[in-house]
């Protein structure tokens, strides 16, 4: 296991270095930054849904929570290091509390979807209604529908006047994504990750084997929220304003669409799904002939109907069929249905 | 006295509108275990159909109660044949596909009608109770909701079609072996569910300004109500609508409309935590 992990890290580093070098030659770094942030957000849902089997319709809640935490903390502290940490910790704690409630109540399946969705809507409604001056945290006004503008953006740790922006910020985000990706890989290779996949496959069996599935699901859910929170904080830095639309149903829908198109149950699928679709959306936004939403809708329906495993697994399978040396087991992974993808990531 | 009467009517109205909003979704979910996330958009299209028909000179009640359900039902039929019938038995996939459909419909309606607010005036004048003005249209909605529940019950319990439908709901394989095609029955059910969504959208249209994205306001509420209602169709629908309607309206009066909405959502979370299979998973078991 150890050997393949280091190989994994090497591959990740080489590929991401190549991408970080090559992509700015084609697309502006400003656009790339947001694509990377969405990729991280997609990865967070891919982790908990694809590998943990936790159906979460409200992943945007943690994204928004991370962004708001960062904005509020940045206004109060006047620098960005502690707010960045808080933006990871607060969503994680929030998700852990929610997870305690949901998983210890033995909620599964579509009921999880409802609760996560509802919690996101509660946050959305609450933040939307905080326009008045009485809603203040420290020096930061929550601002209701208008959101919070004008907070301190990312700076070099320890020097609040040295801002990181533009190209430099792109590299920061790209490195962050690579780091998160490596951490997720390590997590999935660890016994915790393999047990999580086991729980996805058969909860009863895993609990009969003596694993505390409730605690494990809660922890996994919380890790997913932490990643989404980090993505939210990076987003806040990129857009320099946070608004309640971060919590919206549309945002959550988009995250799910990214994962479906890219493919759940593998690590790169959600990232490429997110970046690819977000890029298509930006391109589509430049024309006004066909409505944007319509195309996203068609993409989702077509993928659910014809390619339910997603693009990346389908391409991988095609590659295996055309060029792959048929190993024992390699052909088996191709036949598995969705939500039961490669156990080792 | 006047105030309590007004509050009572408002609570009734809240319950009735929740029943209207959720009925279409409940029929489809109860019968076919399919969650139609395009439900909100079906309602939105019901509203647009009504407004278009009224602008063309059709009587507003004909437009609301006949034309809108028919048109939306037909749209539902097309959707069922093209997309949903391939996905039966895959709950999450149907949810995702219908979510895609909802985006698709928002896009189409935006292209046809534009991203502007349209509306019609309420066809029934208001009246006063003591010092308070009551919207007469609220009574109409309460009446339609009651009629709807009675009609649903009567059809499911009293007619042959209802018997077949209930049989298919319990054991599709058994119904198939007795010579009824579940495929056809599901198709008919989806038509009825869509028509109910269209009706709800049409009836509520005069109360709201319609925009292509209006559906999003309904879908979350309807989804929550249906899931919290649990497996029994009518008992679940009525009981969860009553609970949520009372809670949200009480908080709206006591604190603010926003808190009313939040209270509804919090109530849903608490309810599902206590009764993970919905209200009728525990009470009214085996009822319709």
Residue-wise pLDDT for B32-79, tens only, equals 888 888 999 999 999 999 999 999 988 889 999 999 999 999 999 999
Residue A159 is predicted with a pLDDT of 84
Residue A4 is predicted with a pLDDT of 77
Phi then psi dihedrals of residue B209, to 5 deg: -80, 125
Q: How far apart are CA A310 and CA A101, in angstroms?
A: 32
Q: CB–CB of B106 and A105 under 8 A?
A: no
- Express each pLDDT in B112-166 by its tens digit: 888 888 888 888 877 777 777 777 888 899 999 999 999 999 998 889 988 888 8
Query: Which residues face B134 on adjacent strands?
Result: B127
Mean pLDDT of B226-251: 90
Name which of B25, B40, B94, B103 to mutate to probe chain A: the one with the most chain A Cβ atoms within 10 A of its Cβ: B103
Sort out which chain A residues have CB atoms less than 8 A from B216's CB and list them.
249-250
| Percent of chain B scoring above 70 in pLDDT | 99
**Which of residues B9 and A328 earns the better pLDDT score?**
B9
Name which of B85, B100, B244, B255 to mutate to probe chain A: the one with the most chain A Cβ atoms within 10 A of its Cβ: B100
Whether pLDDT at B286 is above 70: no
Please report, for chain B, how many H helices and E strands are present, in that order. Answer: 13, 2
Residue B265: band (very low, low, confident or very high) from pLDDT cuts 50, 70, 90: confident
Q: CB–CB of B99 and A113 under 8 A?
A: no
- Express each pLDDT in A60-81 by its tens digit: 999 999 999 999 999 999 888 9
The answer to whether B29 faces chain A, any CB pair under 8 Å, is no
Min Cα–Cα distance to chain A from B268, Å: 8
Q: How far apart are CA A94 and CA B219, in angstroms?
A: 25
Chain A's closest residue to B223, CA to CA, is A114
Is residue A257 a contact partner of residue A241, using CB atoms and an 8 Å limit? no
| Percent of chain A scoring above 90 in pLDDT | 42
Is residue B5 a contact partner of residue B129, using CB atoms and an 8 Å limit? yes
Query: Which residues face B132 on adjacent strands?
Result: B129
Min Cα–Cα distance to chain A from B244, Å: 14
Neighbours of A158 (CB within 10 A): 8
Residue A266 is predicted with a pLDDT of 85
Whether pLDDT at A283 is above 80: yes
Q: How far apart are CA B243 and CA B241, in angstroms?
A: 6
Mean pLDDT of A323-331: 56
Dihedral of alpha carbons B171, B172, B176, B181, sign? positive
**Which of residues A134 and A96 earns the better pLDDT score?**
A96
Q: What is the largest CA-CA distance in chain A?
A: 66
Place of tokens 């994205």: B213
Mean pLDDT of A170-192: 94
Left, alpha or beta for B232 (phi > 0: left; psi -120 to 50: alpha)? beta
Is residue A275 a contact partner of residue A39, using CB atoms and an 8 Å limit? yes
Residue A110: band (very low, low, confident or very high) from pLDDT cuts 50, 70, 90: confident
Mean pLDDT of A163-184: 92
Is residue B23 a contact partner of residue B200, using CB atoms and an 8 Å limit? yes
Place of tokens 């395009």: B38
Neighbours of A312 (CB within 10 A): 22
Residue A317: band (very low, low, confident or very high) from pLDDT cuts 50, 70, 90: confident
Residue A326 is predicted with a pLDDT of 55
Q: How far apart are CA B275 and CA B277, in angstroms?
A: 6
**Which of residues A203 and B287 earns the better pLDDT score?**
A203
Residue B99 is predicted with a pLDDT of 85
Whether pLDDT at A314 is above 80: yes
This model of the complex carries an ipTM of 0.80
HSE-up of B253 (CA within 13 Å, CB side)? 14
Left, alpha or beta for A326 (phi > 0: left; psi -120 to 50: alpha)? beta
What's the burial of B275, exposed, middle or buried (CB within 10 Å: 0-12/13-18/19+)?
A: middle
Of the ranges A164-178, A215-229, B212-226, which one carries the lowest mean pLDDT score?
B212-226
The answer to whether B113 faces chain A, any CB pair under 8 Å, is no
Residue A333 is predicted with a pLDDT of 46
Q: What is the DSSP string of A145-157?
A: GG-EE-----B-T
Min Cα–Cα distance to chain A from B1, Å: 32
Residue A3 is predicted with a pLDDT of 60
Residue A331: band (very low, low, confident or very high) from pLDDT cuts 50, 70, 90: very low
CA nearest B135: which of B120, B149, B121, B117? B121
Chain B's closest residue to A261, CA to CA, is B96
Query: Which parts of chain A are beta strand (E)?
Result: 136-137, 140-141, 148-149, 241-242
Q: Is B115 helix (H, G, I), strand (E, B) or coil?
A: coil
Paired tokens of A105: 């109540």
**Which of residues A25 and A88 earns the better pLDDT score?**
A88
Mean of pLDDT over chain A: 86
Neighbours of B180 (CB within 10 A): 16
Sort out which chain A residues have CB atoms less than 8 A from B218's CB and list them.
none
Q: How far apart are CA A172 and CA A165, in angstroms?
A: 9
Q: How far apart are CA B219 and CA A2, in angstroms?
A: 48
Of the ranges A333-342, B69-78, B263-272, which one carries the lowest mean pLDDT score?
A333-342
CA nearest A71: which of A158, A165, A149, A164? A149
**Which of residues A334 and A299 earns the better pLDDT score?**
A299
Q: How far apart are CA A114 and CA A122, in angstroms?
A: 12
Q: How far apart are CA B145 and CA B119, in angstroms?
A: 22
Tell me the CA distances in angstroms from B263 to A66, A113, A318, A338, B6, one per residue in order.
24, 19, 50, 37, 21
Domain ranges of chain B: 2-212
Residue B287 is predicted with a pLDDT of 67
Residue A1 is predicted with a pLDDT of 47
Paired tokens of A110: 């579509």
Of B35, B104, B268, the CB nearest to A301: B104
Residue A340 is predicted with a pLDDT of 43
| Percent of chain B scoring above 90 in pLDDT | 38
Mean of pLDDT over chain B: 88
Name which of A49, A109, A301, A305 to mutate to probe chain B: the one with the most chain B Cβ atoms within 10 A of its Cβ: A301
Q: CB–CB of B104 and A249 under 8 A?
A: no
Whether pLDDT at B238 is above 50: yes
Whether pLDDT at B95 is above 90: no
Place of tokens 């609040």: A160
Compute the C-alpha angle B204/B266/B212, nearest 5°. Answer: 30
């Amino acid at each position: 296991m150890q050997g393949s992990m280091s190989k994994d890290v090497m591959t990740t580093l080489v590929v991401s270095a190549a991408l970080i070098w090559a992509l700015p030659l084609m697309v502006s770094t400003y656009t790339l930054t947001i694509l990377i942030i969405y990729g991280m957000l997609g990865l967070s849902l891919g982790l908990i849904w694809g590998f943990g089997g936790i159906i979460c319709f409200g992943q945007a809640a943690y994204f928004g929570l991370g962004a708001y935490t960062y904005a509020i903390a940045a206004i109060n502290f006047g620098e960005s290091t502690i707010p960045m940490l808080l933006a990871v910790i607060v969503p994680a704690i929030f998700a852990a509390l929610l997870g305690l409630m949901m998983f210890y109540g033995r909620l599964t399946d579509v009921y999880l979807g409802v609760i996560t969705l509802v919690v996101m809507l509660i946050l959305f409604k609450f933040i939307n209604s905080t326009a008045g001056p009485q809603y203040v945290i420290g020096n930061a006004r929550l601002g209701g529908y208008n959101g919070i503008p004008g907070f301190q953006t990312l700076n070099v740790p320890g020097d609040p006047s040295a801002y990181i922006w533009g190209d430099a910020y792109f590299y920061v985000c790209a490195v962050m994504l690579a780091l998160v990706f490596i951490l997720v890989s390590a997590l999935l290779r660890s016994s915790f990750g393999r047990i999580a996949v086991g729980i996805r496959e058969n909860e009863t069996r895993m609990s009969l084997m003596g694993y505390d599935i409730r605690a494990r699901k809660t922890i996994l859910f919380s890790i997913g929220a932490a990643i989404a929170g980090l993505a939210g904080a990076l987003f806040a830095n990129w857009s320099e304003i946070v608004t309640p639309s971060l919590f919206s149903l549309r945002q959550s829908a988009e995250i799910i669409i990214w994962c479906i198109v890219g493919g759940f149950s593998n690590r790169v699928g959600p990232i490429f799904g997110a970046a690819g679709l977000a890029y298509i959306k930006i391109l589509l936004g430049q024309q006004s002939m066909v409505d944007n939403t319509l195309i996203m809708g068609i993409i989702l329906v077509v993928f659910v109907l014809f390619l339910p495993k997603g693009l990346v697994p389908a391409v991988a399978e095609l590659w295996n069929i055309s060029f792959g040396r048929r190993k024992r087991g390699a052909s088996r992974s191709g036949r598995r249905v969705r939500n039961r993808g490669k156990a080792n990531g | 006295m006047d105030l309590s009467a007004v509050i009572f009517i408002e609570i009734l109205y809240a319950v009735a509108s929740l029943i209207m909003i959720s009925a279409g979704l409940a029929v489809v979910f109860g019968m076919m275990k399919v969650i139609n996330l395009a439900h909100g958009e079906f309602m939105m299209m019901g509203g647009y159909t009504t407004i278009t028909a009224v602008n063309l000179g059709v009587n507003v009640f004909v437009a609301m109660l006949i034309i809108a359900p028919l048109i939306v039902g037909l749209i539902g039929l097309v959707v069922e044949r093209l997309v949903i019938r391939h996905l039966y038995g895959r709950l999450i996939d149907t949810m995702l596909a219908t979510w895609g459909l909802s985006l698709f419909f928002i896009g189409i309606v935006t292209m046809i009608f534009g991203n502007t607010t349209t509306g019609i005036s309420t066809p029934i004048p208001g009246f006063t109770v003591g010092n308070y003005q009551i919207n007469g249209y609220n009574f109409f909605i309460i009446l339609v909701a009651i009629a709807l529940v009675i009609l649903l019950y009567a059809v499911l319990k009293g007619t042959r079609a209802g018997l077949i439908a209930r049989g298919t709901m319990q054991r599709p394989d058994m119904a198939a072996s007795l010579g009824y095609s579940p495929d056809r029955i599901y198709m008919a059910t989806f038509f009825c569910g869509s028509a109910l969504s269209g009706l709800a959208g049409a009836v509520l249209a005069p109360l709201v300004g319609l925009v292509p994205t209006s559906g999003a306001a309904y879908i979350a509420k309807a989804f929550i109500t249906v899931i919290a209602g649990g497996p029994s169709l009518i008992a679940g629908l009525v009981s969860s609508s009553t609970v949520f309607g009372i809670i949200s309206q009480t908080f709206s009066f006591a604190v603010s409309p926003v808190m009313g909405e939040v209270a509804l959502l919090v109530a849903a979370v608490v309810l599902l935590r206590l009764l993970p299979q919905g209200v009728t998973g525990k009470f009214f078991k085996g009822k319709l």
